Structure 1
Amino acid sequence: MRDAVYGLALALQFLTRLPLPLACPWTPATRRWAIRCYPLVGMLLGGLLAAVAALLEGTLPAPLLALILLTLWVALSGGLHLDGLMDVADALGSNAPLETRWEIMKDPHVGSFGILALFFLLLWKAALLFTLLEAGVSLVMLVAVLALGRLAAVTLLVLAPAAHAEGMAASWKRDLASLDLWLAALPLLPLAALVPGGVWLCLALAPFLALYAWGMLRAFKGINGDIVGTAIEGGELWLLVAWSWWWFVMG
């Protein structure tokens, strides 16, 4: 039980900027529990966003509320995954040989492809949030969207090979097994039943994961922390689009 608590604390400390002044041991057991708790952290963040939306809806214009929610969305994670998105976009946009792409990804400076990727991702998220708010749709589905986005990261960490023996992804991957992926997905089963369109969101994650993993392994021959973080950002956007399509077209 102690390892599970430390694992949850590690996941919160790594994936969020929520204040949690607790020194957690870095052991195989706490690492495994941290990975298992990734979707739980997503559920917490999505719940906070949905609560803010419910509290402020009707008191603010939809465009302003959408911007507030997006700002809070970024602030809660400290922009950690957006940084990875920009690094991956710069590396892919360079169209350079593999080793050069890795060097570009490690460069602390942001290039034009990274800026474009950041701009369009945030623009799409803001537009989708605004559209849903304008239509009077409850944003409780954000609980599932953020949880599934982090399940995408867990899937990559468990199943995809690390590109290098050292680094963030390699350190998280140590001692992981398929059981950790199943345990991470377990809390999402009741969520899929409770959130309108939850089953559809779970199904929609599969093609994104397949295409994203294929593209990243083809381009980089393995994963690293930036690629895992980009899976979270890309997965969230994909699921927002999928859920919006389900609501406006299928609903």
Structure 2
Amino acid sequence: MKDAIFGVLLAIQFLTRLPVPVACPWNAGTRRWAARAYPLVGALIGALVGGIGVLLQPLLPTPMLALMLLSLWVALSGGLHLDGLMDLADALGSNAPLERRWAIMKDSQVGSFAILALVFHLAWKAVLLWALLEAGASPWWLVPVAALGRLGGVGLLVWVPAARPEGLAHAWQQSLGFKDLVLAALLPLAALVIMPSMAWLLIGLAAFIIIYGLAMRRAFGGINGDIVGAAIEGGELWLLMIAWSWWSFAMV
């Protein structure tokens, strides 16, 4: 039970900027429970952003509300996964040999491909949030999007091996197996009872992680922490696209 509690707190500390004034132990048990809690923490982020969105929706014009929700979304996560997206963009954009791509990913300097990836990624997220709100979707849709985005990160950690025996991704993987992915998926699967339309998001997420995982194995021979972070950001963007498509066409 202690490992489970510390694992949830560890996931909150790692994935958000929410204050957790507890020193959580870093061991195999807490890492397993932290990974299992990834979707729960995503749901927490989505609930905070969505709840504020519901309160402010009658007061703000839609474009301003969409930008405010995105700003809060980024602030709650501390831009953690955006950093991985930028590092990955610089590495892939270089068209360099494998060793050079790894060196670029580890470099703290930000290149032009990173800036372009960040700008277009946030622009697409903002526009999709705007379009979703305009289509009549509730801000509460951010709960499954944020939860499933982090479930995708767990799926990647379980399925695709670390490219090198170092770094956070490798450390997490030493404690994870298929059982942990199943347990992490229990919350999203249970939510299907309340929101059956979320099945489209689950199917879309599975397709995204499979394609992304295969691409990363080909490009880098495996994954690292930056690649997992970029998967969470990319997964959220893809899920927003699916949600907008469903609301714009299926609902009509």
TM-score by length of 2: 0.98
AA partner of residue 155 (structure 1): G
- Listed one character per residue, the Cα deviations across residues 53-107 of structure 1 (whole Å, up to 9, x for unaligned) are 1000010111111111000000001000000000000000000000000000001
1:225 aligns with 2:225: yes
TM-score by length of 1: 0.98
Alignment of 1:19-34 (within 5 A): 19-34=19-34
Give the corresponding residue for 1:2. Answer: 2
How big is the shift at 1:134? 2.2
- CA contact under 8 A between 2:162 and 2:170: conserved in structure 1? yes
Alignment of 1:167-206 (within 5 A): 167-195=167-195, 197-206=197-206
How big is the shift at 1:175? 2.1
- CA contact under 8 A between 2:49 and 2:72: conserved in structure 1? yes
Give the corresponding residue for 1:114. Answer: 114
Identity %: 61
AA partner of residue 149 (structure 1): G
1:67 aligns with 2:67: yes
AA partner of residue 229 (structure 1): G
Q: What RMSD, in angstroms, separates the aligned Cα atoms of the two structures?
A: 0.9
Give the corresponding residue for 2:241. Answer: 241
**Secondary structure at 1:20 match in 2:** coil
Give the corresponding residue for 2:90. Answer: 90
AA partner of residue 95 (structure 1): N
- CA contact under 8 A between 1:153 and 1:229: conserved in structure 2? yes
Give the corresponding residue for 1:213. Answer: 213
- CA contact under 8 A between 1:140 and 1:195: conserved in structure 2? no
1:51 aligns with 2:51: yes
AA partner of residue 242 (structure 1): I
Give the corresponding residue for 2:14. Answer: 14
AA partner of residue 191 (structure 1): A
How big is the shift at 1:196? 5.8
How big is the shift at 1:198? 0.8
Aligned length: 251
Give the corresponding residue for 1:155. Answer: 155
Structure 2: where are the runs of 5+ without partners? none
Alignment of 1:127-146 (within 5 A): 127-146=127-146
AA partner of residue 69 (structure 1): L
AA partner of residue 154 (structure 1): V
Aligned counterparts of 1:136 and 1:177: Cα–Cα separation in 2: 40
Aligned counterparts of 2:130 and 2:21: Cα–Cα separation in 1: 35
Q: Which deviates further from its counterpart, 199-208 or 234-243? A: 199-208
- CA contact under 8 A between 2:132 and 2:247: conserved in structure 1? no
Structure 1: where are the runs of 5+ without partners? none
Aligned counterparts of 1:128 and 1:247: Cα–Cα separation in 2: 11
Q: Which deviates further from its counterpart, 132-141 or 70-79? A: 132-141
Give the corresponding residue for 1:124. Answer: 124
